[in-house]
Structure 1
Amino acid sequence: MKILVQKFGGTSVATLESMKMVRGKVVDGLQRGNKVIAVLSARAGDTNRLLALADEWSPAPDKAECDALVSTGEQVSISLFTMLLKDAGISARSLLGWQIPVTTDDDFGRARIRAIDSGRLRELFHRYDVLVVAGFQGSTADGRITTLGRGGSDTSAVALAAALDSAECEIYTDVDGVYTTDPNICSTARKMDRVAYDEMLEMASMGAKVLHIRSVEFAKKYKVPVHVRSTFSDDPGTLVTQEDPSMEAVLVSGIAYDKDQARVTLRDVPDVPGMAAAVFGPLSERGVLVDMIVQNTSQDGHTDMTFTITRKDLPQTLE
């Protein structure tokens, strides 16, 4: 049984017309002799709207309840798209994360996948040609809904491909591949035909929005080829894969940026052993991800310590 995993982002499922284009990509996958898993994000704007609702109802929304709320965005997408497939005579059904299940830890809002029941999916493929799966979500061992963080649908798709030993995972978005930098800012940006996992990891960690960084980690670990393509064209896109000798000749692959950063500086910190652990240990326990750390040269036994975090983690960091 050949299984192809295709993931479609929020702009790809935003309207009826765009969903019909998505259906065309799924049909193409079927015509190539595959069973297809279509992993869908929430429609463009839905997740932000739901998060705004949570902030309206509560000054500090409970993370577990927030996950239960925002996960409904993907439920809307997969239900509507499955209706489209069935109306076209395609044997399909929708699946939420907990119905597979995609089992995660209980770090609500940025959960990590622990296991996927691939046997359940293979069993369903005896009855259906297409399984439409809600990306971005899973559930804890005791059944609570979790989400994987913004961009987590990419991670869902690559993890499913790895669990099913899929030959390839196609990530469809509103751009036609991975560029040397943001083409909306630099008109001379070039699309790359191939990019190595490690290069893509670097670019994703520095703010490139094409792929979620954890999806690239999954792809590298399980050697899943990832094809980044556009929903709205037939361009071959960019293949994210293992490095080969031709890639090693390139010194600089691309330039990325991230505007969603906050910089925190602690002044006059005692420059003594264990001080860094005292600062960063509690942040780690609260799930705050620290990116860059810079420490000035010590003067009179004190130093300044600067680090960066995502902007949404700033209130918790200051606390």
Structure 2
Amino acid sequence: MALIVQKYGGTSVGSTERISHVADKVIAARREGHDLVVVVSAMSGETNRLVALAKSLADPPNPREFDVILATGEQVTIGLLCIALEQKGCPARSYTGAQVRILTDNAYNKARILEIDDQAIRHDLAQGRVVVVAGFQGVDAEGNITTLGRGGSDTTAVALATALKADECQIYTDVDGVYTTDPRIVPRARRLDRLSFEEMLEMASLGSKVLQIRSVEFASKYNVPIRVLSSFEDGPGTLIVPEDSIMEQALISGIAFNKDEAKITVLGVPDRPGIAHQILGVVSSSNIEVDMIIQNIAHDGSSTDFTFTVHRNDFKRAMALVQEKAQELEARQVVGDDRIVKISLVGVGMRSHAGIATQMFQALASEGINIQMISTSEIKISVVVDEKYLELGVRVLHDAFRLEEAA
């Protein structure tokens, strides 16, 4: 017998019929002898509906009241799933984040979990019940309802698995695992049997939408195995574990990409200490996240070019801030491009193999794809290219590294 935490996303519980199907999957796991804690998201589209309601009155809404509204979506789902389970003869009990007492800080709309009181959950499990917990939400020290940000139900599930010392945290979604890349772009993309936490962290941060990055960070910190599974079909899914649990290390595990990139370049900026801080300071102080950064060597000894990327949604605001700062610094010009994408190779095997970057650049060059920026880490190589080359670039790299073949 194992203690398993299962999480079902919005599409998995998108209707009462799908909730009934989830109940069947939970009962099937119970019949195998497992204790089950189930974390659910709001029904698909419900959070967007609640956001629209709040913003129709005030934009932005009061953060505290906004969280009160957003947390109701999951409350509906936990009640419906428990009704479905009880109707099928399976004892169940629902809990909101406040009832469990998932204690968070007081950062409304993006709270972080500090502590979980697992006493009530353990009592119910001992009584033979399935425990159903609302994802995405908690409560601060003063009793205020808080939410964890988009995708926060994944974090709730992993945090509960950590607190309960669960054997596995199963994330059920609308895909049957993590693939070498998006199968919609490369139909031959292969489902991965295993990934390391580090690889999954890179893929999540680089654009893969399968898991929320905070949930992977949590699992990595506490060594909680995560399995990504499909709500709609049976299969082994993808198991995400510590690197030393993987016997055969693939050279490249996958290709991630991000369509939401924009690039800003400050031309002819004075080449002196503190310039990078002055340019990026105005951006970061406005809560705009900077990704890749490149500073060229000064050709004339007095000026250089400085380039960085931001999220496409922040492009216009960042451009305005940087243009104002560039005038103050007497830079020559500021140019921007919000039609770029980032393509990344990820694999722990890079640590022990040379020539990966060369092979990547050669493959892209063979298709006439110009690389605008490059960023590397121990297990990742990212390039920025024109957005029109996204699909071609992913396909050619997938072929070049023969990712459709099992290691």
Matched letter for residue 119 of structure 2: G
Greater mean deviation of Cα atoms: 56-65 or 202-211: 56-65
Compared with structure 1, are the counterparts of its residues 144 and 35 closer, same or farther at alpha carbon in structure 2 (3 Å cutoff)?
Answer: same
Distance 2:24 2:244 in 1: 33
Q: Which residue of 1 aligns with 2:224?
A: 224
| 1:245 Cα deviation after fit | 7.8
| 1:297 Cα deviation after fit | 3.7
Matches within 5 A, 1:47-196: 47-127=47-127, 129-196=129-196
Alignment deviations for residues 271-311 of structure 1 (CA, whole Å, 9 cap, x no partner): 54444445556766665543333334447346434232473
Distance 2:8 2:259 in 1: 24
Distance 1:193 1:284 in 2: 39
| 1:49 Cα deviation after fit | 1.7
Structure 2: which 5+ runs fail to align?
322-407
Q: Which residue of 2 aligns with 1:21?
A: 21
Distance 1:248 1:231 in 2: 28
Compared with structure 1, are the counterparts of its residues 270 and 244 closer, same or farther at alpha carbon in structure 2 (3 Å cutoff)?
Answer: same
Q: Is the 8 A contact 1:3 1:167 kept in 2?
A: yes
Alignment deviations for residues 11-39 of structure 1 (CA, whole Å, 9 cap, x no partner): 10001221122111111221122221110
Distance 1:252 1:280 in 2: 33
Compared with structure 1, are the counterparts of its residues 249 and 4 closer, same or farther at alpha carbon in structure 2 (3 Å cutoff)?
Answer: closer
When normalised by structure 2's length, the TM-score is 0.71
| 1:143 Cα deviation after fit | 1.6
Structure ID, larger Rg:
2
SS at match of 1:98: helix
Q: Which residue of 1 aligns with 2:41?
A: 41
Greater mean deviation of Cα atoms: 214-223 or 106-115: 106-115
Distance 1:27 1:63 in 2: 38
Superposed CA RMSD in Å reads 2.6
Matches within 5 A, 1:274-289: 274-278=274-278, 288-289=288-289
Q: Is the 8 A contact 1:220 1:242 kept in 2?
A: yes
Alignment deviations for residues 52-78 of structure 1 (CA, whole Å, 9 cap, x no partner): 223322232233322222221111111
SS at match of 2:203: helix
1:306 aligns with 2:300: no
Compared with structure 1, are the counterparts of its residues 95 and 261 closer, same or farther at alpha carbon in structure 2 (3 Å cutoff)?
Answer: farther
Greater mean deviation of Cα atoms: 102-111 or 222-231: 102-111
Count the aligned residue pairs.
Answer: 319
| 1:134 Cα deviation after fit | 0.7
When normalised by structure 1's length, the TM-score is 0.89
Matches within 5 A, 1:257-268: 257-265=257-265
Identity rate, percent: 49
Matched letter for residue 47 of structure 1: T
1:31 aligns with 2:31: yes
Q: Is the 8 A contact 1:266 1:306 kept in 2?
A: no
Matched letter for residue 98 of structure 1: A
**Highest RCO, 1 vs 2 (Cα 8 Å, sep ≥ 6):** 1
Q: Is the 8 A contact 2:7 2:171 kept in 1?
A: yes
| 1:79 Cα deviation after fit | 1.3
| 1:196 Cα deviation after fit | 1.0
